[in-house]
Amino acid sequence: MKLYDFVLSANCYKVRLLLGFLGVSYDSEVIDFHPGKEHKGEAFRLINPLGHIPVLDDDGYVLRDAHAILVYLASRYDPGRSWYPVTDPERLGSVAQWMAFADATASTASATRLHVNLGYDFDVDERRAAAHELFRVADEHLWFGERTGNDWFVPGPLPTLADVAVFPDVVLAEEGGIDLMDYPSLVRWTGRVKQIPGFSVMPGVFPFERA
Amino acid sequence: MPIATRETTDPVLDGWHPIAASGELSMGEQRRTRLLGEALDIEIDLLGNASVARATAPAEPLPTHDRYGYLWTCLGEPSIPLFEIPEVDEPGRRVLHAGTIGVHVSAPRAVENFLDMAHFPYVHTDILGVEPFTEVAEYDVHIDSINELWATDCVFWQPIAATTSTEGQMTDYEYRVPHPYCVILYKTSPIDDRKDVIALFCQPVDEERIEAHMFLCLLDASNSTAMIRDFQLTIFGQDKPILENQYPKRLPLDPRAETPIRADKVAISYRRWLSDQGVTYAVIPA
């Protein structure tokens, strides 16, 4: 299995995280996203005409879009069906809802990080404000979950793709100038994600440390 | 406050500073950047020549220099020549821009972190260091005849010293600080008797922010540009949160400000060297 990958990409990190949780081994095909902009080049557009990473190539089956890749990997490599709970319509719906939420954090929290780190041209104040609005909603959701003994975005004993999809943009948010101090439930949840067996870090993300 | 409006003899004002990776500028491009608290406009004409001007009305043209793969400019009198890196002309070397990353830190804090070996096992675990090999052995620090600061005879055990590594090695390091905000590292190549050259050129956006330009001059003919950049960006990405969590963001030059340990010998010398030159920008003067 091959992942077209860039080490500092939050979207690639999502996929690497799930591969780790599932214990699936893979090879990284490193794309020179920065500074080379290889993902926008002609050669890479033959792999993904949209010019985005990540792209997964599983023995010839080629799939783009981080969330699509998460769905595929969980459906194929998680025999327990816990990450993508297709047998439970309500939980499945909630997973899809939080994955859509993660699309919104990508265009807000993740965009501010691209602006600060790599100089991408965004209205950073506007994106930061929008990210704060999303984080408030997520923090509140998790806070109520904690009150009823739920550790994860989608209530249930085990984490789902919702947690994988939301995690990178939250844990990397401070690089974009978004302080997580006001979101204690979100911060506690990142600590729980870090304790899932198979968890992996990326530059900017630290392993779990007991306080 | 922009440095140029200050009553100052700070050498930072008359020094050259990097403002872009030349290879990332395309013909006809106009780009705005910031240096020492001021907005600058970079323009590339249709012949590929770069011009730089203060983004004022009317625009005030500034001197430029294209070297080591970067565009440099100076906001004062360009009386201090840009330092030399003779290795770029040696055969068999690969000169490469690894990337530019914006960091919420002062330039001297970034230089000081670059000079620090003690953090390798904890921050760059399994790459530039690994426990229990955490000791920083005694090394030498001196200032040479052209007032560049050196730390020599540094050694450190490294599991993966470079993209060319196939096994762990005892790596020899020499650090060179030829400019208040630029630092060069010479380290043992896993495959050549000469040393790999790795440099951090900080563009001081203001006193608490930099654009970090990463320069490489390597003995590595086999790895792809993508792989070499991946290695450097991984290391720098690991440093970034550490840098951004240092307070105060400006570097205190008062020797009593932060408690020194042996590993900090070069850091202490760097602070004194900045102080002796009269650097005031992005530091807290003693």
SS3 per-residue string spanning B143-192: ECCCCCEEEEEEEEEECCCCCCCCCCEEEEEEEEEEECCEEEEEEECCCC
Q: Which residues contact B27 (CB under 8 A, 6 or more apart)?
A: B44, B45, B46, B47, B48
Segment A125-174, tens digit of pLDDT = 999 999 999 999 999 999 999 999 999 999 999 999 999 999 999 999 99
Distance CA B69, CA B213 (A): 10
Distance CA A185, CA A168 (A): 16
CATH of domain B3-73: 2.20.25.680
Mean pLDDT of all residues in B208-222: 97
Provide, as residue numbers in chain A, all residues whose Cβ is less than 8 Å from the Cβ of B230. Answer: 6-7, 30, 32
B interface test, pick of A175, A180, A190, A201 with most B CB neighbours within 10 Å: A175
Q: At what angle do helices A124-147 and A89-106 cross, to 10 degrees?
A: 150
Which residue numbers of A have CB closer than 8 Å to B's CBs?
A: 6-8, 30-32, 34-36, 38, 116-119, 174-175, 177, 202-204, 206
Q: Which residues contact B171 (CB under 8 A, 6 or more apart)?
A: B155, B156, B157, B158, B161, B187, B188
The ipTM is 0.92
Q: Which residues contact B118 (CB under 8 A, 6 or more apart)?
A: B134, B136, B261, B263
The CB-side HSE value for B227 (13 A sphere, CA atoms) comes to: 12
- B185 near B114, Cβ under 8 Å? yes
* Helices (H) then strands (E): counts for chain A: 8, 4
* B260: confidence class by pLDDT, cuts 50, 70, 90: low
Cis link prior to B58 (omega < 30° from 0)? yes
CATH fold of B86-284, please?
A: Naphthalene 1,2-dioxygenase Alpha Subunit; Chain A, domain 1 (3.90.380)
Segment A40-90, tens digit of pLDDT = 999 999 999 999 999 999 999 999 999 999 999 999 999 999 999 999 999
Segment B132-173, tens digit of pLDDT = 999 888 999 999 999 999 999 999 999 999 999 999 999 999
CA distances from A45 to A41, A65, A204, B132, B213 (A): 6, 14, 29, 45, 28
Report whether pLDDT(B8) > 80. Answer: no
Distance CA A166, CA A163 (A): 5
Domain boundaries, chain B: 3-73, 86-284
Distance CA A35, CA B236 (A): 14
Quick one: pLDDT at residue A110?
96
Q: In sequence order, what DSSP letters do the residues of B1-41 get, joined into one string?
A: --GGGS----HHHHS-EEEEEGGG--TT-EEEEEETTEEEE
Quick one: pLDDT at residue B1?
61
- Token pair recorded at residue A134: 């999303």
Task: Go through the domains of chain A in sequence order and give each one's CATH number.
Answer: 2-77 (3.40.30.10), 89-194 (1.20.1050.10)
Q: In sequence order, what DSSP letters do the residues of B253-266 get, joined into one string?
A: -STTSS---GGGHH
Report whether pLDDT(A122) > 70. Answer: yes
Give the CA-trace dihedral at A205, B223, B120, B184, to 10 degrees: -120
Q: Is A203 within 8 Å of B225 when comparing Cβ atoms? A: no
Distance CA B72, CA B93 (A): 23
Provide, as residue numbers in chain A, all residues whose Cβ is less than 8 Å from the Cβ of B237. Answer: 7-8, 202-204
Report whether pLDDT(A4) > 80. Answer: yes
